[in-house]
Chain A
Amino acid sequence: MSSNAAASSSGGAGSADSAAPRRNSKRPKYSRFTQQELPACKPILTPKWVVSAFILVSVIFIPIGVASLLASRDVVEIVDRYETECIPEPLRGDKVGFIQSAANKTCERKITVPKRMKSPIYVYYQLDNFYQNHRRYVKSRSDAQLKSLKEENETKSCDPEGTSGGKPIVPCGLIAWSLFNDTYSFSRNNQQLAVNKKDISWKSDRDGKFGKKVFPKNFQKGGLIGGGTLNESIPLNEQEDLIVWMRTAALPTFRKLYGRIEVDLQPNDIIHITLKNRYNTYSFGGKKKLVLSTTSWLGGKNDFLGIAYLTVGGLCLFLALSFTIIYLVKPRKLGDPSYLSWNRNPAGH
């Protein structure tokens, strides 16, 4: 009896089970991919791995922390807060009134160099509580106009500092309009210290974003004067103070580069600063600081990075130790089913 006959004799109506030879097998093709058998590493957090990972992290982090901290400590930084001191005592009751008046705003300051400062010494001004990152402020500029003379009428985004008397303001917008205009000059032993204001902005800004042939126009000519003015004979890409200012800060407390002093300062040098305190931070209660700082390979003075690295590294070392101790003191029997939640709670649902 051939199986052929048998198959269909029992088939009844189920002739789907045809005994005809199968030409096209539907057997899936074997490959490690489709069978999900690709070679793989299956990381498991064994005590050995955990402890080694912690040790590795601390071994890397602690030296970095030390190096960062040393770098930060290397930096000499002089900060001079002047917004109150630079207002004549009797007028301190109405600071805003003073700053908006036409009074003489020159102010003399004196600082002492605590440690030797190697050139270049960067001069920054630091503002506080100044929301350069406010959306209205950030958006209030016209990149097209800054770059190209032809597009000086592109002032749509600059409102309300887009036009003045119907004519486009170049550079337009709130950022430019509120340009910082305090100035500083330094002298040591009655000798003027030159402040180099070249190359204080990003090269990409000068080359890419600010036009060579675009000159300030109608700037600060409107009813309300904001901040500083610009020399209309210098193209925008050479107005580095403006370029620095236009690159808006991330946080309400920020520094901006003012220039570089390219001589070394010796300890106990006394620096005389003559500053013009013109910029209004009094309306919103902002501080103004003048900062002189050297840099290290890491940048300016900030211990946070080093401390953070040391902390994390130390923590990891501690954890590595604790894990080792726990593992030595109380080695756990692996695969103990009593840990299963559904065994612990037999009522289940």
Chain B
Amino acid sequence: MASVSPAWLYQDGGLRSMDSVDGVVAKRLYFNNLKISFAGSFPASVWKFKVGITSPLKRSPLLPCIKCENSDKDGSFEHVSVERAPYHSYMDSTSGQLEPASGARASIPGQDYWPEGTASRVRAARAPEPTGISTGVSSFGKNPGSRRKKYKSSPSATYESSETNVVVNDPVEAETPDDASEEPKDLLSEYVVYQTEPEKEELTGYELDKKLGRPHPFVDPKAKKPIEEPLTSEELWWNWRKPDKEQWSRWQRRRPDVETVFLKAMAETGEVTLYGDHPTMTECSLYRARRHIYKEERLQAEQEKLEKIGPMAYYSEWVKAWKRDTSREAVQKHFEETGEDENTQLIEMFMHQTDREYRIMMGTDIRIRRDPLAMRMREDQIKQIWGGDPVYPTVNYIQDPNEVIDYRGPDFHEPTPNMLPYLKEHGKIISREELEKILAKEKTEELELTDMDEAMAQAVDIGENDDEGEDSEVDGDNEEKITRNWSVLKSNPELQKSKGKPKKNNMSLDEAIDDSENITDFLLDFEEDE
């Protein structure tokens, strides 16, 4: 069956390239479109008949040549074929040398680097095999010189001399393979006889037919085995397809090919019998070849029809309004009468064509139901080959602009409407007043520390540790002096009292703290005294 997509491409390409109805030039594009349209519009019987005409035995597909109306200007057309151009090597642009198509290998070093003896072996292997068939046959040591060409007639026949006349090497009779008659005495002494002629075998039946070239079945009926039931894919021993389950992603599975999917679809609908579940490479290529050949045949049939009935008659099929006679003679007569050649008449005919007919002729009418297999395939099969819609590949991607999208998923929770009391409840937030309270508490704690220092300041180092020595004592004294001198107030409590008293008017400590602006109020101002 035909594949649809290349036909579509051709259709589009064809539309644009056809600027004038000098598309009398029978383009292949027409044929592609025609077969698609025919498949829908014409009954299958017509096609079968037409296909049957081209004898099924003739399997030589001719590449449809693009033939010009005037055959003078031909030869400049490209023969486009569906198949990939097979090449095994190409001129690489990067290296500038001939490269193999399938993965390059390191270059083979030249003769200078070959190991010893390789050159002679290579030369011996490259030497051409001798052609030519010899007419003589070997005597296997019995007749030396028997296969030489004799330029002089044997003198032994004319000249008789016992010494030179060697019976064994009689050249005149050397040709005859019958040595026994020449040397009767040898028969007695040489009792070992070598068989020179092979036995003849009798062939009968199939083998005889085969040997004689008579029509015979392909396989010897005696040796023929009955066709067994096709095995499933798992049973087939050559099915080394890897299972999908072991791959951790579906992307790792084997990509289906066009032919594979088509074949599988056809097998599902029953058009084709496969030998297993999945089509093999052989079946795919067979299908592909068959499809190609069918297409070729149909193109050929179309071409022949065009050639047979002429373009006017051919294209009038799609111009219903053209009622005139379109046979070749009529065209010729019209030409003679009016001087309009075939092209002009075609133009006039196409003037009467409707848009619908035009679309049908070009094969782009979407309103006509086509029924190639591609239409019948399941959606997942189609998607395997051609992929889905590029814009909306899956259902999920289709968007309604007015839609309110709910992003919530299964583990999506509702957001809390009142954050503040929620946080307050859980103790994450406190109010400003509480904060200030806490901060205030933190201030009083600082004062307690100073009392502690007083006690430390009044302590005297006894010098318990004798190990330290003079330096440490001096240091210790210095440190003590420093610690003491750190706060004059603390080292001199009488000073503190004397200063603090005049300011303090029999107030309690707390009142005094509250009354003070900051701590510095409690610092004595020495400069005023002195």
Verify that A and B bind, or say they do not: no
Interface residues of A (CB under 8 A from B): none
Listed in ascending order, the chain B residues whose CB lies under 8 Å from chain A are: none
